[in-house]
Chains A and B, each alone.
Chain A
Amino acid sequence: MTMAEVTVAAVTLMGAASASLQIWACSMAGINGAQQRQLALNRIDGELIILQKHWQLMAQLGPLAPSCRAASEQLLDDLRRTPQASGVDRELTLLPAEEGLLVSLRDHNEPRARRDQLVKPGALHLCEGA
Chain B
Amino acid sequence: MGLLLSSLSLQATALESQLRFRSQVQARSDQDQLSQAAQRLVSEINLAHPCLLHLPQQNWAQEGTDCIDVKRATWLIQGGDGSPSDVRTLAWQPDTNGKKVMLLLELPKAPGGTGRRGLFEIGLGGDPVRAWSIQEQGLLGGQP
Contact = CB atoms under 8 A, between A and B. Distances in A.
Interface of A: 16-17, 19-21, 23-24, 26-28, 30-31, 33-34, 37-38, 41, 45, 52, 56, 59-60, 62, 68, 100, 112-125, 127-129
Interface of B: 3-4, 6-8, 10-11, 13-15, 17-18, 20-21, 24-25, 28, 32, 35-36, 38-44, 46-48, 123, 125-126, 130-135
Contacts of B32: 115-117
B60 to A, nearest CB: 17
A1 to B, nearest CB: 20
Contacts of A31: 10, 13-14, 17
Given A20-B4, A60-B125, A113-B25, A26 B18 contact: no
The majority secondary structure among interface residues of chain A is: helix
Nearest to B48: A129
B46 A122 contact: yes
B42 A34 contact: no
Contacts of A56: 123, 132-133, 135
A125 B132 contact: yes
